[in-house]
Structure 1
């Protein structure tokens, strides 16, 4: 007598489970991503742009995952350095000194050298930190931030001003963050791993 009813209940639960899976199969706004308050398309950012700081330990960890994100999305990740405060502004000058000479972002090995120099422990002297930074540049045939001429300094500040405008307009308040198509920000806390972040990025790239 109760057997047909139990089958109906079981079937109903199965449908609910399937419905739940289908509803959560794609990234959710407010959980995995959010719209930027102002679109940043005017800045011609790369489709995937990481907003970061050389001072940020989490950004240094994320840097190790950038090659995997690029592989999973078939896109090169662009970069914007924040200028939240004085220390971030100084680090931005270091980063953009490399960018303006390379006319590109530093590669992974160069980035790791920059992170390592900026994030040297508090027991090092200013001279030791400067030496590490200068070596990161001169070993690659580049002029260090300490040796820029007047023309290079002017060009550098143009990079800094643009980065600051992007950060302010996009209201980027924490790093690392990823901007997609100049319209969306990935919420990294809403993901369990890099694969999940890549899935959300691919979803937004297709929107």
Structure 2
């Protein structure tokens, strides 16, 4: 009888531990994600977008994990470049100049890597050298550089950057990288230990609608 009681006690203890683990895997509000102060779904076309800046070192590191996250959520991730300071605003101009000339609406990984490299290039380069490398990067992709845009392209660029500014402002986004889900929720990336946990939170938020 004592042996049976011990066995049952161990079983119940195991069930409690399993329940606790299961509960911990569910993302929690203001821990793994937050609710945006304003619904910005009318400003964002895709269910999942990465909010980033070319000037951000952590965003550069996140680039290598995006394919794995996309695989984990079963869909492509859009991009929004923040404009919360002058440096980010200038970088946004270059990003959207490339994005609006890309078939998918966002630059491919090669172009993104080139843009990141230019913003994190050695200080040994002069401003003219950096400018030339930027022009070369656009030409290498068969694109018109930001310095050579037509009036029509400039107007389109203005619309893209204005929309990004609206998303940044209305969403009150002040740190990157992060992910916006359904225009309502923001993933707190620093609260996650690995790529899979980020994908799990995104999937959870997608299910919330």
**TM-score over 0.5 (shorter chain):** yes
Equivalent positions of 1:1-207 (< 5 A) are: 9-103=9-103, 104-207=105-208
Rounded to whole Å, the distance in 1 between the matches of 2:194 and 2:19 is: 24
TM-score normalised according to structure 2 size? 0.92
Aligned-partner Cα distance in 2 for 1:107–1:73? 19
For structure 2, the residue ranges without an aligned partner over 5 or more in a row are none
TM-superposed CA distance for 1:118, in Å, is 1.7
SS, match of residue 17 in structure 1: helix
Q: Note the C-alpha offset of 1:15.
A: 3.5
Superposition RMSD in Å: 1.8
- Residues 19-28 or 180-189, more deviating: 19-28
Instruction: Report the Cα distance in structure 1 between the residues aligned to 2:200 and 2:138, rounded to whole angstroms.
Output: 35
Offset at 1:205?
Answer: 1.3
Deviation, 1:61, is 0.8
The alpha-carbon deviation at position 44 of structure 1 amounts to 3.5
- TM-score, normalised on structure 1? 0.92
Deviates more, 1:17-26 or 1:67-76: 17-26
